[in-house]
Structure 1
Amino acid sequence: MQPDASRTGLQWRPATTGDLDNWAELIARTAAVEHPVWFEKRGDLVHVLESTKNDPRTNTLLGFDAGGVARAYGRITKNPEGDKATGMGCVDPDWQRRGIGSALLAWQEAQARNRFRADTEAGHTTAPPRLRIQTEEQHHHQAALLRARGYGIVRWFNEMHRPLSIPAPDARLEPGLKLGTFQPSLQEAVRQAHNDAFRDHWGSEPRDEETWRFTIEEPTARHDWSAVVVDAATGEVAGYQLASHDPDSAAVRGFKEGYTELLGVRRAYRGRGIAQALLADALRRFSAAGMDIASLDVDSANPTGALALYLGMGYQPVNRSMMWERRSSWLP
């Protein structure tokens, strides 16, 4: 059920391609006030509307004022076999404190229940409905809303930076392991490596071809800064580092940033220095491109010891975010 127009002062409907600019401008307006580390851009929203697993006709919602300007947005995503739904959204700063955020969250919860019910009836999952929403530690108003509706923090994440003025360490690979630049022809092999590398990570679910295509085609992706390590004997991708760069963020954050979106090593290849070699290679690529900072995000309780790895490579935590979760019954 959509939020009540008479109470929110907004007219609500799912997002369409004709809304892309209006939608992106809403998110950018909100980000200009709230200063998140990352926010969705128009290219990301194009992928949202292209999704076949998360039909935008039922999983997105925009609220428009009387002049047709988008003032609020919400969406959820869920894999059919997954045990969680994830929510995202925002409210125009000029329209906050009117109950719109609460109304959007209630819609997300209802839609999450609908998705879990449908997936259970189709035999995909038997998990109880749960919705997860990630916020940054600085955003106290979001935390207050989630806490008031019964959400609790289930995980913390660290944003980490490393100045590129410090030379990259010398991290060499064993004989038989070859490092090279990521190529589109390796897209499927890297997807398989990613699913293997992340199958023991909290909250991670296998990425299918559609989800992985959106990852590879992310608007800020830099394939020329990304790398893979291949086992020469088998041709198997043993590890990978996928990088990105948002040129618009430098004006806001005050530095040019090379970002590691994903770093993974197959379980069978762990403990052989592959992650260190990939990170050292990324630092050199970022530095050669004129970046000031190398950055990434890491689960504070990552089971592979990633936090210790990054600290050892010279990264330091600078910001924290948290994952909130609420489980519910089938009933509102």
Structure 2
Amino acid sequence: MIVDLPAGLTGRPLVQADAHAVYEVMAAQELADLGVVSIEPADIVADWARPSFDASASTHGVFDGDRLVAYAELMGGSRADAAVHPAYRGRGIGTALVGWLRQRAREQGLARFRIPAPPGSPGDQLLASLGFTVWWETWELFLPEGATIPERALPPGHVLREATPADHPACWTLFEDAFLEWADRDRQPYADFLATVVGRPGFEPWHLRVVTDPAGELVGAVNVVMFGGDEGYVNKVATRADRRGQGIAQALLVDAFTEARAHGATRSGLSTDSRTGALGLYEKVGMRVTSTWLMRGTDV
């Protein structure tokens, strides 16, 4: 597929070895738009390691010589992402990459796709000008330094512990059942779950924790990752639908942040969006919104 790029720039599909260069472009864009970087190399490495993902068929990079300066990818389902290094904005690269995404989405049989951007950022303004509408909002939240989430006791007979390999299939089922109540995607393959959670660079057994009931059935789970060496970030947390409202999710959050602190974290964070209805829960336990993203989408 030919992408119409400014003179002097070239494009090609990306491969796993380009993951760190993609991180550098995305980090530069986030720093310019938000003043902070909320992504790390392991996010991209793990996502691209999914067996269902073919980087060469789902990504396009823009290069100035050997330097990656922009990229776009279809991530699976309706998810897409794109980034242009701030030094290369205003040259039509973003518009060209959106055109590539639209055409590639058609070829893959998608009816629509979506891209996140901070409100009012150059990327957000470009997407709005190209007809993308806001589908939902996403928020990053952090627990203020020194603050603690009030502990809540588990129901009698329940146990919170580190997950074992034997728990992994049940964790996958629990996470997928919970997220598919509102997510606009198909069920993630089990192998993809393993790649993005257990196979994520730096994974340690304490990163995946579960709650079991008196019968030994898994009723809650949390996946926490270490970001930048000093932040405990909750990647996923879920409670089985028939066991909600009993404090299980709150107990998992307290445990995840406590474990992260025991392993060197000085900050705690997570993200949620307007589809989940969970923002109030996190604010209720003392977390505060630090950044907002708009998920803009379009038909192809």
**TM-score over 0.5 for the pair:** yes
**140 and 23 in structure 1: CA distance in 2 versus 1, 3 angstrom threshold:** closer
Counterpart CA distance in 2 for 1:16 and 1:301 is: 33
Q: Deviations over 1:57-90 (max 9, x none)?
A: 221111222x3222221111224xxxxx221121
SS at match of 1:245: strand
Which amino acid in 1 is paired with 2:89? Answer: Q
Q: Does 1:114 align with 2:107?
A: yes
Query: 2-side partners of 1:282 and 1:18: how far apart?
Result: 32
> Identity of aligned pairs, percent?
28
Higher alpha-carbon deviation: 146-155 or 89-98: 89-98
Does residue 241 (structure 1) correspond to residue 222 (structure 2)? The answer is: yes
Rg larger for:
1
Aligned residue number for residue 310 of structure 1: 282
Structure 1 pair 269–57 and aligned structure 2 pair: CA distance change class (3 A): same
Rounded to whole Å, the distance in 1 between the matches of 2:149 and 2:43 is 32
Letter aligned with residue 197 of structure 1? A
1:287: which partner in 2? 261
Aligned partners of 1:220 and 1:246 also within 8 Å = no
Question: Aligned partners of 1:20 and 1:316: how far apart in 2?
Answer: 31
**1:186 pairs with 150, 160, 167, which one?**
167
Distance 1:101-1:275 versus aligned 2 partners, 3 A rule: same
Question: Which structure 2 residues correspond to residues 151-300 of structure 1 after superposition, within 5 A?
Answer: 151-203=132-184, 205-216=186-197, 217-219=199-201, 221=203, 223-233=205-215, 235-247=216-228, 256-300=230-274
C-alpha distance in structure 1 between counterparts of 2:23 and 2:142, whole Å: 27
Structure-2 change in CA distance of 1:25 and 1:283 (3 Å) = closer
Tell me whether 1:89 sits opposite 2:82 in the alignment. Answer: yes
Q: Would you say 1:324 and 2:296 are equivalent positions? A: yes
Paired letter, 2:181: D
Structure 1, unpaired ranges of 5+: 80-84, 118-128, 249-255
Q: Shift of the alpha carbon at 1:204? A: 5.3
State the 1:94 CA deviation. Answer: 2.0
| Offset at residue 108 of structure 1 (A) | 0.5
* Matched residue SS, 1:308: helix
Please give the per-residue CA displacement for 1:75-127, whole angstroms capped at 9, x wherever unaligned: 11224xxxxx221121222221110110011101111111116xxxxxxxxxx
Letter of the 2:114 counterpart: R
Higher alpha-carbon deviation: 291-300 or 161-170 = 161-170
SS at match of 1:197: helix
Q: Distance in 1 between matches of 2:213 and 2:162?
A: 14
* CA spacing shift, 1:15–1:271, aligned 2, 3 Å: same
Letter in 1 for 2:12: R
Does the CA contact (< 8 Å) of 1:12 and 1:63 recur in 2?
Answer: yes
- TM-score, length-scaled by structure 2: 0.89
SS at structure 1 position matched to 2:109: helix
Counterparts of 1:25 and 1:284 in 2: how far apart (Å)? 30
> Do the aligned partners of residues 4 and 300 (structure 1) sit closer, same or farther apart at CA in structure 2, a change above 3 Å counting?
closer
CA distance in 2, matches of 1:190, 1:232: 17
Following superposition, the deviation at residue 20 of structure 1 comes to 4.3
Aligned match of 1:122: none
Higher-RCO chain (CA-CA 8 Å, sequence separation at least 6): 2
Pairwise CA RMSD:
2.4
Is 2:115 the counterpart of 1:133?
yes
Q: Count how many residue pairs are aligned between Structure 1 and Structure 2.
A: 298
